[in-house]
Structure 1
Amino acid sequence: MSDVKGRRTYDMSRRRAAAAGRRRRVLDTAADLFLVHGYAVTTVAAVAEGAGVSVETIYKSFGGKTGLVRALIEEALEGMEPEPAEHRSDRAAAAASGDPRAIIAAWTTIGRDVVRRGAPLLIMARAAASADPDLARLLEEVRELTLLRMAHNAEALAPHLRAGVTVEQARDVLVAYLTPELYDTLVNGFGWSLAQWADFQARGIAAQLL
């Protein structure tokens, strides 16, 4: 009986690993095609062919093109570390011992891998959203989540805000510094490094809010 259970566990582990590998191939292929060719031109069939899976597998796993973009954006917003970026952000704020500049610097450092992956996807999606209602709804969801997250971060800075700056204004400043277009202009347009971009963010946010 123990041998049977062992084989069953092994088989399940192999199936999970194979499924994770397929998902990774699909998302990597989708990201490449979306960013090179754009959302409208990229088809589910092209993603399936590039990833070596069936079209049905993509529809079953992601629900279509909008679902692929959703999965890619959600993955980007979590960051590249095992721990989601928002959890690391809260932990960094708690560890900064009330030093608002240290909190902001930690946030911008964590944000580097998030924006590096997320900004190109969001710019691509925004370019196509006017012709695709599902994509437009997805971007509105992302906007609402971003507002909620930055409101949470603004509350962490509330005791340190400069006189006359409200928590709502602090939220708006944090959102503005996170716009994909700002990242694209400085990093891709002017050739700034990620470290320069993060330093610009940290200094700018501190100057506006503290």
Structure 2
Amino acid sequence: MSTAPARPRLVTDRRQRILDAAGPVFAEHGYERSSVDAIAKAAQVSKPTIYSHFGGKEQLFRIWVGEVARQTTEDAVRAVQAIDVTPKKWRASLVGATTDLVVAWHTECAASLARIANAEVGRDPEIFTVLRESAHDPVIEALAGRLAMLGNAGHLTVPDPVLAAKQLIALARTELDDISEFGTKPAPVTVVRRVVKVGVETFLLAYAA
């Protein structure tokens, strides 16, 4: 019986195993001191297998950064997309979704990623692009869409939803750069909730209809 149909699954599983193994290596040693040998050993694959899937350590690192960035924000993006636009719930829903988003960006996992990415972005500016496309842009797109819906419902006055989304996030994180040392340390959830609530209230002073 032919086993050909199972090959794509096998390839996908092996690729994910390499990414899963690369994470702890990069997190512990940083990019420069992490070796393809160490990642191959952790993933229980050969070095040629890693080169076959990723082309080399640099591309593997970029893909790993993008995957972790997506994982840290995917739940928050879903929360943003579910913001309730009904008259009685939209304010609390906006605060809750923005809080979920900011909490996701200040966990231990997110802080570890920020430390590694910040250290490497000077060497490889493409890392900034990866982070923007994997985490920042999807969040802005989702949030802008919901803010536009709140505007259409008459709750907000939003002439530029994308700008409004960026301003909301900036206000919600105003104090957290100091508290988290620019995202490189996790921020306590209780502190995040307080900061976000104040930021959303400030945002609504400007945008509430």
Answer yes or no: is the 8 Å Cα contact 1:109–1:198 preserved in 2. no
Matched, 1:53 2:21: no
Segments of structure 1 that go 5 or more residues without pairing to the other structure are none
Aligned amino acid, residue 67 of structure 2: E
- Alignment TM-score, normalising by the size of structure 1: 0.65
Identity of counterpart residues, as a percentage? Answer: 24
Question: Alpha-carbon deviation of 1:188?
Answer: 7.3
Residue 166 of structure 2 corresponds to which residue in structure 1?
172
Q: Alpha-carbon deviations, 1:87-142, whole Å to 9, x = none?
A: 4531x214x63512223303433664565333421331122111224334434544
Which is richer in helix?
1
SS class of match (2:180): helix
Matched, 1:118 2:110: yes
Describe the shift of the 1:25–1:167 C-alpha distance in structure 2 as closer, same or farther (beyond 3 A). Answer: same
Residue 89 of structure 1 corresponds to which residue in structure 2?
80
Aligned amino acid, residue 36 of structure 1: E
Segments of structure 2 that go 5 or more residues without pairing to the other structure are 205-209
Query: In structure 2, what is the Cα distance between the partners aligned to 1:32 and 1:181?
Result: 25
Residue 74 of structure 1 corresponds to which residue in structure 2?
67
Answer yes or no: is the 8 Å Cα contact 1:73–1:121 preserved in 2. no
Matched, 1:37 2:29: yes
Residue 184 of structure 1 corresponds to which residue in structure 2?
180
Task: Pick which of 42-51 and 107-116 moved more.
Answer: 107-116
SS class of match (1:130): coil
Residue 100 of structure 1 corresponds to which residue in structure 2?
91
Describe the shift of the 1:132–1:182 C-alpha distance in structure 2 as closer, same or farther (beyond 3 A). Answer: same
Equivalent pairs counted in the alignment come to 195
Aligned residue among 188, 194, 205 for 1:193: 188
Q: Alpha-carbon deviations, 1:61-94, whole Å to 9, x = none?
A: 23333343334433442459xx86534531x214
Describe the shift of the 1:188–1:78 C-alpha distance in structure 2 as closer, same or farther (beyond 3 A). Answer: closer
Output the aligned Cα RMSD: 4.0
Question: Alpha-carbon deviation of 1:203?
Answer: 0.5
Matched, 1:155 2:152: no
